[in-house]
A = this chain, B = another copy of it.
Amino acid sequence: MKRPIGVIDSGVGGLTVAHEMMRQLPNETLIYLGDTLRCPYGSRSEQEIIQFTNEMVDFLLKKNIKMLVIACNTATAYTLENLRKTLPIPVLGVIKPGARAAIKMTVSNSIGVIGTEATIKSNAYEKALKNIKPEIEVQSLPCPLFVPMVESGILSGRKAEEIVRESLAPFIKQKNMDTLVLGCTHYPLLKETIQSVTGDDIKIISSSDETAREASAILEVHELLRADDDKTDHMFYTTGELDVFERITRELFKTTVHDIQKVNIHQINNSI
């Protein structure tokens, strides 16, 4: 099945999901679309989030994708259920893969979740966790500084550690908590710094890594895996400027990505 996999995000965070998919599924071709122009979605109305996400989906459906990965927590919370019902291809979000991995990992049944203010307010992780295992205790904490940190390239070093330590201070006292979910696709870029602050007793779950793992499972169940027959050729699209996009891809992929194009999905959507 040579058709590509579509990956959408409100901006650059979903690149951590794309990167893990490229690592775990090296035969597959990805088409990534980041709506950097209208990012962040966290402060948008529900109607806007749904409209913008639909515009991204329309753009990718025209590229003949075989599966859609919503690599954005906010868009997952507001659009996953409906897209799963209406699209003719499998659709995967980032919240439940992280929740399932945390349930598998925890022994104490006490799980911490960090994310943007919008994600923490939506209670999406808590609902997903308790829906599967009601006795799980969930402590949630918004970390509003982490996305701007990542987008400015502050990933490690003394300054990064200071901000992470201050942000996570309410969690360090939770002695029972043994598992921490990175509930934002930007946060895996801070994973080492976060781990150095929490110490090794707390296991960190990256919802990006777990989403890539479940994408692999879903491709197999739907018999959509690509055979190893030719070179993959990923494409990256952004609705905004290229600078942050280029910086994050360089950091993640350890190489310069040339196949980045700026697109206007709003116009494209109107021209249908």
Q: Which positions in A face B, CB cutoff 8 Å?
A: 20, 24-27, 84, 90, 96-97, 100-101, 103-104, 131-135, 209, 212-214, 216-218, 220-221, 225, 228
Q: Which of B97, B104, B225 contacts A24 (CB 8 A)?
A: B104
Measured CB to CB, the closest approach of chain B to A144, in angstroms, equals: 29
- B26:A133 contact, CB within 8 angstroms: yes
Measured CB to CB, the closest approach of chain B to A71, in angstroms, equals: 16
Main secondary structure of the interface of A (DSSP, over half): helix
- B100:A132 contact, CB within 8 angstroms: no
Query: For residue A130, which residue of chain B has the nearest CB?
Result: B228
- A101:B213 contact, CB within 8 angstroms: yes
Q: How far is the CA of A225 from the CA of B96 in the complex (A)?
A: 13
Query: For residue A103, which residue of chain B has the nearest CB?
Result: B24
Chain B residues with CB under 8 Å of A212's CB are: 104
Question: What are 15 A-B pairs with beta-carbon distances under 8 A?
Answer: A24-B100, A24-B104, A24-B133, A25-B132, A26-B135, A27-B133, A100-B217, A100-B220, A101-B213, A103-B216, A104-B209, A131-B228, A214-B214, A217-B217, A218-B221
Q: A97-B217, A101-B213 are in contact. List 13 more A-B contacts (CB 8 A).
A: A20-B104, A24-B132, A25-B133, A26-B135, A27-B133, A84-B221, A90-B221, A96-B217, A131-B225, A131-B228, A132-B216, A132-B225, A218-B221
Chain B residues with CB under 8 Å of A220's CB are: 96, 100, 132
Taken together, the copies of this chain in the complex come to 2
Measured CB to CB, the closest approach of chain B to A72, in angstroms, equals: 19
Query: For residue A212, which residue of chain B has the nearest CB?
Result: B104
Q: How far is the CA of A212 from the CA of B105 in the complex (A)?
A: 12
Measured CB to CB, the closest approach of chain B to A204, in angstroms, equals: 14
Q: How far is the CA of A218 from the CA of B218 in the complex (A)?
A: 8
Measured CB to CB, the closest approach of chain B to A27, in angstroms, equals: 7
Query: For residue A81, which residue of chain B has the nearest CB?
Result: B223
